[in-house]
Structure 1
């Protein structure tokens, strides 16, 4: 059988073919850059395997899913899968898998870098010096080891961040719905207590119906005065309008953001105007090592399906029997 592979991520024909290591005959169908929802619908209709869009732009919604005739697996080439209606996919018996953990080291590195950037006013100090200023007192910051860091979500990334922070001597608190997750020396608390007590709050949870708007006006008001918010997970976890208000009022000491409600971040976003906000273009998980790793994980799962083995990292509880 020639397997038809629809690729919604920005990979070339050659890259997709190389995932199969010459072990299976495949027909690869690419789609144009988004928006191109009709092309997504047509490309996936007869596909046996679908590589979802790592940019989260091409959506696999119910309309796309109900027109899929042969799909064995939807494989996301990323950790986040919010552009896929995974619940509807489960109704149709289609497993959805992600590349869980592929970029945990990259995102954890970015998170620690971002925290230090805000605490020590790194990017701001760089701009001042380049502009000819030499304002030492204005750049006095805080030591990370003197602070309490609250981790919202102790999964692949959150757990890796916790291990990084052990070396700084920070006090750690965390919240996570999974009762089996733990970290030596860290205290499990509820979200309300975490917001009240942490000097730095890091978000490391997936975007879903339960977490959209998790950090809104109420949560921001509950934060310890002078706290710092760090988001390298998904933009819509945070109500940006409420965040702008909290920053403008001086309640927050700063924020570090790699993800946004709308990407790219609009040119007129007020977030661009704050000197105490560190911004990056959704690159926290982007390293050469992580990019190589995600291709390896995606290819391995696609091969499992064609080899008659069940896929790993299935996020919608669809079981695939081994053949």
Structure 2
């Protein structure tokens, strides 16, 4: 157990924005390193007994919580809390909070970049050009204006992305049972309508046990032939084997993915080298601005919980 006289905030990463560290000035901040394992987190909890954990990487499960009896709050450096055992946290009276919206601009821009790369075949054409080819006579891109895009998830990221594609002249339909007061350019629909009508499907929802493998052989078969799939949310939303099969048959014309079932992706993954598949290493929210925004929001959220619990005690 740590002998420090100050309460500890554990960060499951190697760094935190200076602006966030300034907010945590009354605490000793301990960093877990660039690629901490779940066992590393448990060991650090046992050593330092933190009052708060700011989650950047790795999972935080019941063993880590049990090793830190002083733990009051687990604060996500971002919006997705699927790497935190929320059931265990609830049972122990530990609050789980997220920096919702802090990286909305960054992730929405990544979704747009992946969509455009898919529609305009930018990576493939770039490779061909560097190889000395000129494919103007044979290539046809997908024009997005006038086509329908279906968004699954209409939180801060989904709505920001919707504004972007609406400006491009796309018809925007979306599914989110929790979204309220949607702007006029988003037409709320059910999932069946998205599968049936969308030329592009883009995922912007959290991963739950209910929607795991939401994109699968059955739902892809219900889509329009040649649909484009974009995922900047969580890899577990997509059955990767089924998506690859649909790409090979042409049922999915192309896909742009920023998240995967298992991360980091390792050598030999079936996606590597697949045609019409554009990949990025879960960096949608990784910008200099989002880094600051998420760090500050995560720190503020943690401090608010600690302050509130201290008053209640």
**Given the two structures, how large is their TM-score scaled by the length of structure 1?**
0.88
Q: What's the counterpart of residue 315 of structure 1?
A: none
Q: What's the counterpart of residue 137 of structure 1?
A: 137
Instruction: Give the conservation status (yes or no) of the 8 Å contact 1:247–1:254.
Output: yes
Q: What's the counterpart of residue 124 of structure 1?
A: 124
Inter-CA distance 44–138: structure 2 relative to 1 (3 Å threshold): farther
The answer to whether the aligner puts 1:40 opposite 2:41 as a matched pair is yes
- Alpha-carbon deviation of 1:150? 0.4
Instruction: Give the conservation status (yes or no) of the 8 Å contact 2:13–2:36.
Output: no
- Alpha-carbon deviation of 1:171? 0.6
- Alpha-carbon deviation of 1:123? 1.4
Instruction: Give the conservation status (yes or no) of the 8 Å contact 1:104–1:160.
Output: yes
Q: What's the counterpart of residue 153 of structure 1?
A: 153
The whole-number CA distance in structure 1 between the counterparts of 2:18 and 2:172 is 45
The whole-number CA distance in structure 2 between the counterparts of 1:14 and 1:288 is 12
The answer to whether the aligner puts 1:299 opposite 2:287 as a matched pair is no
The whole-number CA distance in structure 2 between the counterparts of 1:13 and 1:126 is 35
The answer for unaligned runs of 5 or more in structure 2 is none
Counterpart secondary structure, 2:82: coil
Inter-CA distance 193–77: structure 2 relative to 1 (3 Å threshold): same
- Alpha-carbon deviation of 1:322? 5.8
The whole-number CA distance in structure 1 between the counterparts of 2:114 and 2:21 is 37
The whole-number CA distance in structure 2 between the counterparts of 1:80 and 1:10 is 19
For the aligned residue pairs, the C-alpha RMSD in angstroms reads: 2.2
Q: What's the counterpart of residue 9 of structure 2?
A: 5
- Alpha-carbon deviation of 1:215? 0.9
Q: What's the counterpart of residue 27 of structure 1?
A: 28
Counterpart secondary structure, 2:272: helix
Q: What's the counterpart of residue 272 of structure 1?
A: 272
The whole-number CA distance in structure 2 between the counterparts of 1:98 and 1:236 is 19
Instruction: Give the conservation status (yes or no) of the 8 Å contact 1:154–1:181.
Output: no
Q: What's the counterpart of residue 254 of structure 1?
A: 254
Counterpart secondary structure, 2:138: helix
Please list, as runs of the form range in 1=range in 2, the aligned pairs for 1:213-252 lying within 5 A after superposition.
213-252=213-252
Counterpart secondary structure, 2:75: strand
Q: What's the counterpart of residue 314 of structure 1?
A: none
Instruction: Give the conservation status (yes or no) of the 8 Å contact 2:95–2:305.
Output: no
Instruction: Give the conservation status (yes or no) of the 8 Å contact 1:226–1:253.
Output: yes
**Given the two structures, how large is their TM-score scaled by the length of structure 2?**
0.91
Inter-CA distance 254–36: structure 2 relative to 1 (3 Å threshold): closer
* Number of corresponding residues: 307
The whole-number CA distance in structure 2 between the counterparts of 1:110 and 1:158 is 12
Inter-CA distance 217–112: structure 2 relative to 1 (3 Å threshold): same
- Alpha-carbon deviation of 1:33? 4.7
Instruction: Give the conservation status (yes or no) of the 8 Å contact 2:203–2:233.
Output: yes
CA deviations on 1:160-204 (whole Å, 9 max, x unpaired) are 011111211101111111152523132211111101110000000
The answer for unaligned runs of 5 or more in structure 1 is 311-319
Inter-CA distance 212–181: structure 2 relative to 1 (3 Å threshold): farther
